Amino acid sequence: MKISSQDSISCTPELRETISNIVRRAVTECVFQVRAASPAAIEPLELFHSTEAVAIKEEIVRVGRKLWDRQYVDGNGGNISYRISSQYVLCTPTLCSKGDLRVEDISLVDLNNNLIVGSRPQTSEIKLHFSIYKSVPKAKAVVHCHPPYATAHAVAGVVPPLNLIPEQEVFVGPVALSPYETPGTQVFADTILPYAKKHNTILLGNHGIVCRADTVTHAEWYTEVVDTYCKTVMIARQLKSNLPEIPADKIQDLLELKKTLGLPDARLPEEDDLTGAIETAAASVAKALPHVHPNDVDSLVSSITDEVLSLFAR
């Protein structure tokens, strides 16, 4: 949506919700960045044992168990991480079954791959996670695993088709396919760089998949969505080779919904004028309030949304 200084917009519930979602993303990200960069930032050991970190470690363990139960990992395969600050990442250890994962197994590393706190060495594929965090500042969580149907597509070098199931279109959308490189190397980690910004899910050639999201749980959800989609498409093609697609105008409806959720999609522009203007305004306010308490975010979002709407109504 492009808006000039002479345009005015009627305030509808849909518009308010759209603006509110954009504002919330900007405020949350800016408050997080300002707090993380503060000179009084929490020390690594204190951060590692903080209430926030404990909750995230418990979430990582739960997600690891889900991956194991759904047979998305075997042996010691797969890895999970969460960027808890601008400098530090919580991650699973190397050589550990995700079905056996415990809270005490989680480590804290910095973005230079130094083990800061923890009794077990970090996953050997953490560089893949770092590549995503460094290229997509909004990414907070990464899950890498080997779900069979999505991995089959990665091995075959076949990207699943589009426009067949609404959930795939909204939560994942187009899936990228990166070329094979030796896992654990920087060259392997760099293979996702051309795709990470516009895709939350990437097929790793002859390897598996990687998903990024705002939470560990959401990243795991995307693995479920894409693997179920790949399985369903494979079965449907046995029934009929040319599958009927969702009509183009209905796909556009799904993309509009996707924009309100703040999810990436290669079919969407990187940033439209409205989103950019709102995020810039929200960022300015949030950066001026480094001590915003998480409980105050709702009132701040509502206040900024009102201000944005009043500007458009003039």
Measured between alpha carbons, how far is residue 248 from residues 171, 188, 231, 293 in Å?
Answer: 17, 36, 23, 43
Sign of CA dihedral 284, 289, 295, 298: negative
Rounded-to-integer distance, Cα 144 and Cα 201, Å: 10
Write the DSSP symbol of residue 104.
G
Which residues are registered as beta bridge partners of 202? 176, 210
CB-CB contact of 139 with 222 (8 Å): no
Dist. CA 16–CA 306, nearest whole Å: 9
Where does residue 84 rank: exposed (0-12), middle (13-18), buried (19+ CB within 10 A)? buried
266 Cβ neighbours under 8 A, 6+ residues apart: 173, 174, 176, 198, 199
Q: Given CA atoms 284, 289, 293, 296 in this order, what sign does their dihedral have?
A: negative
Which amino acid is it at 307? E
The tally of CA atoms less than 13 A away on the side-chain side of residue 44 is 15
Alpha carbon distance 109, 113 (integer Å): 6
What residues act catalytically? 125
Buried b (16+ CB within 10 A) or exposed e, 261-287: eebbbeebeeeeebbebbbebbbebbe
